[in-house]
Structure formats: structure tokens, C-alpha cells
Amino acid sequence: MNLNNETLETLKKLRTIHWNFNDKEVTDQEISTITKHCMRAANATNLSNYSIIVVDDVDVIKKITSNPCKTKCLVFCLDYNRIAGTASHLGYDYFPEVSWYGFIGGIFDVSILTQTAVIAAKSLGIDSLITNAIFRQDIRDIKKILKLPEKYCFPVMTLLLGHSDKPDTQTIGRLSANHVVHKGTYTPISDISHEDIIAEFDNIYPEYLNEQYPHYLDWYHQVWEKPSEYSKRGKSSKLDEQIYEVLRESGFNV
Ligand SMILES: Cc1cc2nc3c(=O)[nH]c(=O)nc-3n(C[C@H](O)[C@H](O)[C@H](O)COP(=O)(O)O)c2cc1C
């Protein structure tokens, strides 16, 4: 059996470009090929309850991501406006708030859609960055800038697409599957060597190791997870609370 093919090769080459895309353009034709093919992703009840906003204005990209990235950007939104609008058109005037189930299902749809776009882009030789940047800002501003409908529409994933000067072989890597894939039933963490996991992270991020941080996870827990406005474990920040508020204003019953 051949366990290698072009698709698996594309998956092996996936990598994130952290904002520093070069000036090479992603063409409109490439963008429409990516958007058309990512919509092949599975979606609940096959209603396509999402919208993709293609942003190519550098000023708008800067406003919504806080990064002056000269590239193209797709904002993947949960969007129940088509189904609500057509319901009303057909005389079904009882379109309810989107339930928790609908919301979570929609998040799955949008996530799969985004990753399928990442793969489609890579197959065309285009690199990407998925970012949560919009959630580090006032989500009401983001909705206004993109002219998103007030109700039933919420931006979820932001994807920047572009080219990079980084050599194609340079990828960050992942934990090995034996720490992540459980056969039959779950293997408790106590049965797994913590040392192995710590060492694997050191291998993935050697540039973070020094006297102060003997392991990557020392840096992670002391620097990255240090309490900040948008990164407080287990506690809601003002931004988190605002996201909830805007979701509820937008008709999502979460
Ligand atoms: C939901 C999500 C949000 C992310 N947000 C950011 C971000 O805001 N900034 C960034 O530089 N990378 C972001 N990333 C990219 C990850 O940091 C990156 O995928 C990870 O470090 C692994 O690197 P690789 O994709 O090159 O293998 C995000 C990825 C995901 C899936």
C-alpha cells in the first residue's frame, strides 16, 4: 500500500508564517480557488452557515489584526443570516436565537473550513497564518469595520495568506503521536513520562532554552502564560466578557 502521496506531502509541509510575509502577491484567482475548494469541507446539515470576508486592503488588515501585513486575509464568520433571511422570505417568521448547540456546531464548521483553506493554499504554494488577533481587540469595532450584520453573524477565524522567504523545510514540529493518540481508552498522564514530553517540547523549541529557562515549558509557564489582559487561566478578562456580550447581542444564545 502506498502511504505517501501529494496530499500527505502537502500536509507535512504545513507551517505558520508569523506575520512576516514577503511582497509576492496572492492573486484574486488564487483566492477564489482557495475559497471555492475550502467549501468542500464537511458542515453540519450542509447549510453552509458561514461567510468568508476576503480582505485585501492593507489598512483594513492592520485595523483588524493590529499588524501591518501586506498580504490577503480571509475572515471566517459564523453566519446564520442566509438561513434566517430565507426563513422569513418563505413565511417562517419564527427564526430563534442560535442555540448553544448551533453555536458550537458553527464553530466546528468554521474551523474545518479554515483549515481546509490552509491546505488548499499550501497545495498552491501559499503559506498562511491563522490568528486570534481580532479577539485581542474591540470585537464591536471589528464588526463595524467589516460591516458584518448586527444579528446572527460573528467573526471566528482570521487567516492571512501569503508568501515567505523562510526555507520551505523549516517547520516547528509537533509532539509525537504516542503522547496524543490513545488506543482504545484514554491513557492517564501519570502513566506517561512527563520528562519525555518536556524533552520533546525542548526539541521543538530549542531557541527558548537558556540558564533562566532550562526547558521550553519553563519559558511557557513563566512568560507566555503570565497573567495578562487576554491570557488569564480560568478567569474572564474584559475582552472575554465583551465577546460574550457581543455574541448575545448578535443572537447567539451562549
Ligand atoms: C486558533 C489559532 C490561533 C493562532 N493565533 C496566532 C497568533 O495570533 N499569532 C501567531 O503568530 N500565530 C498564531 N497561531 C499559529 C500557531 O502559533 C502555530 O500554528 C503553531 O505555533 C505551530 O506552528 P506551525 O503551524 O508553523 O507548525 C494560531 C493558530 C491557531 C490554530
Q: Tell me the per-residue pLDDT of 23-71, one tens digit each, with 9 for 90 and over.
A: 999 999 999 999 999 999 999 999 999 999 999 999 999 999 999 888 9
From CA 248, how far away is CA 88, in angstroms rounded? 21
C-alpha cell at 225: 502564560
The DSSP bridge partners found for residue 160 are 73, 129
Ligand 1 nearest atom to the CA of residue 136, by list position: 8
Ligand 1 nearest atom to the CA of residue 16, by list position: 26
Are 73 and 158 contacting, i.e. CB atoms less than 8 angstroms apart? yes
Read off the pLDDT band of 240 (50, 70, 90): confident
**How far away, in angstroms, is 15 Cα from ligand 1 center?**
9
Nearest to 98 by CA among 109, 111, 114, 113: 109
Ligand 1 nearest atom to the CA of residue 131, by list position: 5
Q: What pTM, to 2 d.p., does this model score?
A: 0.93
Residue nearest to atom 20 of ligand 1 (CA): 16
Nearest to 106 by CA among 116, 117, 98: 98
Instruction: Please give the helix or strand (H or E) that residue 64 lies within, else none.
Output: helix 58-65
Q: Ligand 1 test: best mutation among 74, 112, 130, most atoms within 8 Å of CB? A: 130
Ligand 1: lining residues by beta carbon, under 6 Å: 15-16, 18, 129-133, 171-172
Read off the pLDDT band of 204 (50, 70, 90): very high
Residue nearest to atom 30 of ligand 1 (CA): 130
Read off the pLDDT band of 7 (50, 70, 90): very high
Residue type at position 185: T
From CA 163, how far away is CA 197, in angstroms rounded? 32
